[in-house]
């Protein structure tokens, strides 16, 4: 295999990993604040359709990315109002949000089926990435670099800053955080806003970069992989990065093996791999020294109302 092919495979791998990394990173912050949002898939879809609609109408993929952020936040706000202000059940509301997102995106996108836009291009001028090895480093689009920067930023924020500590406190013990004067609900609103923005961006990565078109259920279940990934990473940003690229590698390897005529496992088995890996990690975590829920935020999924 020449280096050009290896680089090409690497580019496919990075592109496949980026949206699940973004969506999972947003969900990680949400869960660290003690909220379980199962509606990631739905938020991704509204982001995907809004991004495409705006990019198609204005001719600017940049405007599309911004629109996806806004649409993601707007959809996540529905979830936030229901679960935080009205203390609805988070699991049921999250599932409902996915169903809502599938339907709403299909309705909004009906007029955009069959249209195309210019794909989101590389972030740097192509002259810089003439050599295959340079292309592997400099040939990606802006969202890829943004996702990597965000992993660093989130990791630093959660572990090295005071607001990060407060956010974690809210997720670990909402009553105590409330008692010493932190505004639990406001902090959770902020976390859900961040999660919604990233899920919206992840969705737009499908409709603007991976497959520049709109079609119903474009993300085809990647939101669920992102949710599994957060558990797989044991709520740690660095492990999330590793996990996302591992999941991306598994998805890409499956196809490369088939194309090369190597049958390692049946394709159905490889399609199960991300979920099997998550179950395996969960099992290992509960068998480990800190048994039980290990690193999961203690208040994850519990409704909070100040009394």
Partner 1 sequence: MTSIITRRRFNFGAGASAAALPFTAGRALAQAPLGVGFIYVGPVGDHGWTWTHDQGRLAVEKEFGAKVKTSFIEKVAEGPDAARAIRQLAQANNQIIFTTSFGFMNPTIQVAKQFPKLFFEHATGYQRADNVATYNARFYEGRAVIGTIAGHMSKSGQAGYIASFPIPEVVMGINAFHLAAKKVNPNFRTKVIWASTWYDPAKEADAAKALIDQGCDIITQHTDSAAALQAAEQRGVFAFGQASDMKAFAPKAHLSAIIDDWSGYYVKRVREAMDGTWKTGDVWGGIKDGMVKIAPYNDAVTPAARAAADAVQKGIVDGTLHPFTGELKDQKGVVRLKAGEKASDELMSKMDWYVDGVQA
Closer of 32 and 140 to partner 1 (Cβ): 140
Instruction: Please pick, from the candidates 74, 77, 102, 250, the single residue that binds partner 1 as defined by CB under 8 A.
Output: 102
Token look-up 């009205």 returns 86
Should residue 118 be labelled a site residue for partner 1 when binding is judged by CB under 8 A? no
Q: Is position 217 an interface residue for partner 1 (rule: CB under 8 A)?
A: yes
By C-beta, is 84 or 244 nearer to partner 1?
244
- Among 108-116, 127-135, 144-152, 173-181, the segment contacting partner 1 (CB under 8 A): 108-116
**b/e 225-246 (16+ beta carbons within 10 angstroms → b):** bbbbbbbbbbbbbebbbebbbb
- 252 is an interface residue for partner 1 by CB under 8 A: yes
Spatial CA neighbour of 240 closest among 166, 152, 175: 152
Judged by CB under 8 A, the residue of 212, 237, 274, 297 near partner 1 is: 212
Could you say whether residue 267 binds partner 1 (CB under 8 A)? Answer: yes
Number of residues that bind partner 1 (CB under 8 A): 43
CA dist., res. 223 & res. 19, Å (int): 9
Question: Alpha carbon 152 to chain centroid distance?
Answer: 15
Binding partner 1 (rule: CB under 8 A), the pick from 31, 41, 141, 174 is 41
* Closest distance to partner 1 from the beta carbon of 69 (Å): 20
> Which residues sit at the interface with partner 1, rule CB under 8 A?
5, 8-9, 12, 16, 41, 98-99, 102-103, 106, 109-110, 113-116, 119, 206, 210-213, 215-222, 224, 251-252, 255-256, 258-261, 267-268, 271
């Amino acid at each position: 295999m020449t280096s050009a092919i290896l680089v090409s495979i690497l580019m496919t791998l990075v592109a496949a990993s980026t949206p699940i990394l973004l969506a999972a990173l947003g969900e990680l912050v949400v869960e660290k604040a003690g909220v379980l949002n199962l509606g990631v898939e739905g938020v991704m879809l509204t982001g995907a359709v809004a991004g495409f609609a705006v990019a198609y109408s204005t001719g600017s993929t940049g405007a599309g990315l911004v629109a996806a952020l806004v649409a993601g936040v707007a959809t996540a706000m529905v979830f936030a109002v229901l679960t935080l202000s009205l203390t609805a059940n988070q699991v049921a509301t999250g599932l409902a949000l996915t169903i809502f997102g599938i339907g709403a995106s299909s309705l909004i996108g009906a007029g955009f089926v069959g249209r195309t836009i210019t794909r989101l291009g590389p972030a740097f001028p192509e002259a810089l990435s003439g050599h295959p090895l340079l292309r592997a480093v400099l040939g990606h689009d802006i969202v890829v670099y943004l996702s990597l920067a965000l992993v660093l930023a989130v990791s630093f924020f959660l572990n090295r800053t005071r607001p990060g500590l407060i956010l974690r406190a809210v997720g670990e013990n909402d009553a105590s955080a409330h008692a010493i004067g932190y505004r639990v609900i406001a902090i959770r609103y902020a976390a859900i806003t961040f999660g919604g923005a990233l899920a919206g961006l992840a969705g737009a990565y499908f409709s603007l970069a991976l497959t520049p078109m709109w079609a119903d259920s474009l993300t085809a279940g990647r939101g669920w992989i992102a949710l599994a990934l957060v558990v797989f990473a044991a709520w740690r940003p660095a492990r999330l990065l590793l996990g996302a690229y591992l999941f991306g590698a598994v998805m890409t390897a499956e196809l490369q093996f088939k194309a090369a005529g190597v049958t390692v496992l049946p394709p159905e088995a490889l399609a199960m791999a991300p979920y099997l890996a998550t179950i395996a990690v969960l099992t290992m975590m509960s068998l480990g020294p800190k048994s039980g829920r290990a690193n999961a935020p203690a208040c994850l999924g519990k409704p909070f109302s100040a009394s």
